Amino acid sequence: MSNKHLNTENQSQQSVFKCGAATHVGNVRTSNQDKYGITSNLITVADGMGGHNGGEVAAEIAITTLTASSRVQSINEFAYLVQKANHLIQTRAQENINLDGMGTTLCALSEINIQETSKRIGAVNVGDSRIYLFTNDVLHQISIDHSLVQELVDSGKISEIEAKSHPHRNVITRSLGHKPIVEVDAWEIDIIIGDRYLLCSDGLTNEISDTEIAEILSTKSDPQQAADQLIQSALENEGLDNVTAIVVDVISGKEKRNSSNIQFDVQTFSPEEDKQSSEGKPSNAFKSLFEKLTQSRTT
């Protein structure tokens, strides 16, 4: 299987993104279960897990599902697209005993077409692959890890420094493929010219610090050179895991941010909570998802 998807069918449409991407098996592993996908308006990274190449299959399904979408019209639609990928991974695992227990993390950015004249960036995240925003020479981690150590940090039981070397730092608490319904973190961000995003697997963040990441993003103006340097830096450290990085520059949008503060509301979407409307009938969002999933079973 390919470790990437480059969908060029929509490249004739003007993109708000300019991307550079790189991935590597690492210094220890024999196969690369990281996958990434790029279309004219969507960027995504998946970090698979599971024996018998299961992680590679799960990540491939997740990336294929997201990159097959031509346009994302709302943040709800983006979150439900991730839910569809979760369903398809589970279905494949049920069909092949060798793939039982496979799963993947997923993070993604997409242009959201709210109206004809209004566009924003939508972001989704499940697991501990990360999304960073580098703006005004400051690096912000804008996704929240769904991991055991993050829960310990949030509860005050360990510090951020202790989390870096915690023996269970690779234990994730949320992923695609392991439950019928997965909670998806999703949010919207203003499109600001000059903003730079980084999507990466934990093979990068386990090896180099946020300070090192910021240094590379600030000194490498070309996104491909920045992605290549991030991977090289991870490999020059221990490089124990598969490692993937996509650097995304915003080249079209607003000229500047209204405020120096980076603020947005992260929402957690789960169709299990949305199955019934106040009238006791399935909501339109859940009905739409159900229809799409039903169709996928029969095609």
* 3-class DSSP state of 182: coil
State how far Cα 130 lies from the chain centre: 7
Encode 225-261 in three state secondary structure.
HHHHHHHHHHHHCCCCCCEEEEEEEECCCECCCCCCC
Cα torsion 14, 15, 20, 26: sign: negative
For residue 77, pLDDT over 80 is answered with: yes
Domain borders along the chain are 4-298
Q: Of 281, 258, 41, 48, whose CA–CA distance to 135 is shortest?
A: 258
Exposure string for 254-284, b = 16+ CB within 10 A, e = fewer? eeebeeeeeeeeeeebebeebeeeeeeebbe
Q: DSSP state, 128?
A: S
For residue 214, pLDDT over 70 is answered with: yes
Q: How confident is the model at residue 290 (pLDDT cuts 50, 70, 90)?
A: very low
pLDDT tens for 89-122 read 999 999 999 999 999 999 999 999 876 666 899 9
Percent of the chain surpassing pLDDT 90: 64
CB-based burial of residue 131 (10 Å sphere; 0-12 exposed, 13-18 middle, 19+ buried)? buried
pLDDT tens for 1-28 read 345 565 534 444 578 999 999 999 999 9
Distance (Å, whole) CA 16 – CA 11: 11
- Model pTM score: 0.85
The CATH architecture assigned to 4-298 reads 4-Layer Sandwich (3.60)
Two tokens, residue 48 = 């698979």
Least confident range of 103-107, 147-151, 200-204, 238-242: 147-151
Note the pLDDT of residue 128: 95
State how far Cα 34 lies from the chain centre: 11
Under 8 Å between Cβ of 18 and 249 = yes
Distance (Å, whole) CA 138 – CA 217: 10
CB-based burial of residue 65 (10 Å sphere; 0-12 exposed, 13-18 middle, 19+ buried)? buried
Cα distance between the two ends of the chain: 22
Pairing label, strands 34-38, 267-269: unpaired
